Amino acid sequence: MNKYLQIFKISFAQEFAYKANFIMWRVRNVFQIFLIFFLWDAVFSDQGRVVFGYDRTKILTYVFGVMLVRALVLSSKSVDIARDIATGELSNYLLRPISYFKYWFTRDVSSKVLNIMFAVVEFAILYLILKPPFYFQTDIFTNLSFLISVGVAILIFSTLIFIVSTVPFWAPELGWGSHFLVTVVVVESLSGSVFPIDVLPQLVQRVLMITPFPYLIYFPIQVYLGKIGGFQYLQGTLISLLWIVVLWLVLRRVWSKGLKVYQAFGR
Amino acid sequence: MDKAIIVDRLVKNFEVTEKEPGLTGAVKSLFSPKKKTIRALRGISFTITPGELVGFIGPNGAGKTTTLKTLSGLLFPTSGFVSVLEYDPWDRRPEFLKQIALVMGQKNQLWWDLPAIETFELNRAIYEIPKRDYEENLKELVDLLEIGKLINTPVRKLSLGQRMRMELTAALIHKPKVLFLDEPTIGLDLVAQAKTRDFIYEYNKKYGATILLTSHNMDDLVNLARRVVVIDEGRIIFDGVLEELTERFAKEKIISVTLSNENDIKRIETIGKVKRMAFPQVVLSVPRAATAVAAAELLQNFPVSDLTIEEIPIEDIIRRVFKGGLKRK
């Protein structure tokens, strides 16, 4: 356990190595929030407008929720895995008594913790400036359910990224492309981070809810908003957990096959 | 354990996709990739006893690095048997990994933006080295490699030579019993080369570590390795004491003569290949078997005041090894 704590620490230190860069990154985040806020604020400028069952308060909460959950779930250092494999950097890890996945998972967690620390501060400041009509969940049990669903989402996303990242074992030049396809096209559009899933037709919704994607963003937010609870919550969590098991088994298999064709490039 | 490393009929093939240059080539290979099998190792066998320091030499692409990578568990053998410290490297068991290190001259594990000491600390945790041992090892390595002042400087600000020594420290902090060194002195200046060499020698002597080293640096081999394994096109073509390389591969001997006058000096070309002619000194290379005849002829027909017969210098042989094309006798 100590080794992963050490990785956590060094990962943290690494983030601060370029201070100017770090500040720019945070500034960018704040601007992004401004942009999204004003966009949706303009769309719902008419106070009474309701679109797909979302009024101004709910959509703004959803939008802010997306930003928060995204920061928790989709922020990931492990995009570098594909590069590690393509460049042979992976060798450095294989040579040491350490689990490569746990290594990256630790680095992800460390990056997430850092992200949250700053996000909370920024969010508080922005909240005071913009005074958005944000819906605060007060029920402890719902908040707890929300945190669990976020944890589950993180696990799904990590295994998904790990699997996608193994492509360069077979096609070293495809690392970035496959990543883009999965994270940007598939995850962004199907996870509910662009629009809430429940604006889609019933049938599409039902199909989507069997895939792992909505459980990354949409599901946790709906749990937070109190729209999903009880039986639906249990059902969703069960599906997510099943997906984690399936994805994990796939990952193990793909990974051990990949290592056999690994050429440890670089020289 | 009487053998630290056993390699038996090891074969490693790589599948590679061939690409023609340019955009059309890239598009073509997208639709009909041309696969080619590269036979990197074609059944090599050797063993190394604990504490031995062996030089592994051959031209580029001969299979040296592939062998080292297979021995350290990075590559999956196509066929054949490999055992290091009685482990199968491919399993990459923690107990095995804690006893080996692979140092590649152009690969680095140091965290680029942070001082090297951070990487050392990380490795301490990863290898689960007890605090006391860690401090002892670190002090020893720092003294041996003379890097005390630099361990708190961000790695990106170090020179190549300094960084290489940091890499060595990071790779050896867990005191591996088996060490695979791939071009440890590549890109270093002469002083740094010598330092690294001294260090490898010391490390081998002090801890009785088994070391397998590849190098294109003549001095590395001449100064460090008593035994060398020569590999070419995936096959071992020589395995033995360094000095025997000459007997095995030198087809010629060198005769140097000192002449007392310049008469007939041109005619000397009929006796052997003139390597250097600077009156009064002439250096000839003659076929091994004809050495005695050539010497007799020289003494009889030329105004020779001095004559010596020598072997081709080991450096020349190694140079030829690097160029490739040495044939098994």
Per residue in A71-117, pLDDT (tens digit) is 888 877 777 888 888 888 899 899 999 999 999 999 989 888 888 88
User: Which of B72, B94, B154 lies nearest to residue A97, judging by beta carbons?
Assistant: B94
Instruction: Please give the angle made by the CA atoms of B121, B123 and B124, to the nearest 5 degrees.
Output: 65
Q: Does residue A185 form part of some domain?
A: yes
Q: Report yes or no on A267 lying in a domain.
A: no
Between CA B278 and CA B219 the distance in angstroms is 29
> In the block, which residue shows the tokens 């589950």?
A152
Option in A3, A13, A91 nearest B114 (CB): A13
DSSP state of B149: G
pLDDT at B326: 63
Residue A51 domain flag: yes
pLDDT tens for each residue of B139-160: 988 888 888 889 999 999 998 8
Residue A266 predicted with pLDDT over 70: no
The secondary structure of chain A, three-state, reads: CHHHHHHHHHHHHHHCCCHHHHHHHHHHHHHHHHHHHHHHHHHCCCCCCCECCECHHHHHHHHHHHHHHHHHHCCCCCCHHHHHHHHCCHHHHHCCCCCHHHHHHHHHHHHHHHHHHHHHHHHHHHHHHHCCCCCCCCCHHHHHHHHHHHHHHHHHHHHHHHHHCCHHHCCHHHHHHHHHHHHHHHHHHHCCCCCCHHHCCHHHHHHHCCCCHHHCCHHHHHHHHCCCCHHHHHHHHHHHHHHHHHHHHHHHHHHHHHHHHCCCCCC
Distance CA B197, CA B199 (A): 5
Chain B within 8 Å of A99 (Cβ-Cβ)? no
Dig out the tokens for A48 from the structure: 């009474």
Residue A22 lies in a domain: yes
Residue A69 lies in a domain: yes
Paired strand residues for B56: B214, B229
Asked if B6 and B83 touch (Cβ cutoff 8 Å), the reply is: yes
Give A261 or A37, the one with higher predicted confidence. A261
Q: pLDDT tens for residues B148-193?
A: 889 999 999 998 888 888 988 999 999 999 999 988 888 778 888 8
Q: What is the per-residue pLDDT across B244-271, written as a single tens digit (0 to 9) for each?
A: 887 777 788 889 989 888 777 778 888 8
Structural domains in chain A (count)? 1
Beta bridge partners of A218: none
Q: Is A95 on the interface with B (CB under 8 A)?
A: yes
Q: Sorting pLDDT into bands at 50, 70 and 90, what band is A1? A: low
Q: Does the predicted model carry a pTM greater than 0.80? A: yes
- What are B80's two structure tokens? 């054949």
| Nearest residue of chain B to residue A6 (CA atoms) | B122
Q: Whole domain around residue A105: which residue ranges?
A: 2-261
Residue A249 in domain:
yes
Number of Cβ pairs < 8 A linking chain A and chain B: 80
A74 in a structural domain = yes
Q: What is the pLDDT of residue B69?
A: 93
Residue A30 sits at the chain B interface (C-beta within 8 Å)? no
How high is the pLDDT of residue B129?
94
Complex ipTM: 0.79
- State the Cα–Cα distance between residues A220 and A214, nearest whole angstrom: 9
A266 within domain boundaries: no
Residues in contact with B204: Cβ distance below 8 Å, sequence separation at least 6, in sequence order = B51, B53, B211, B224
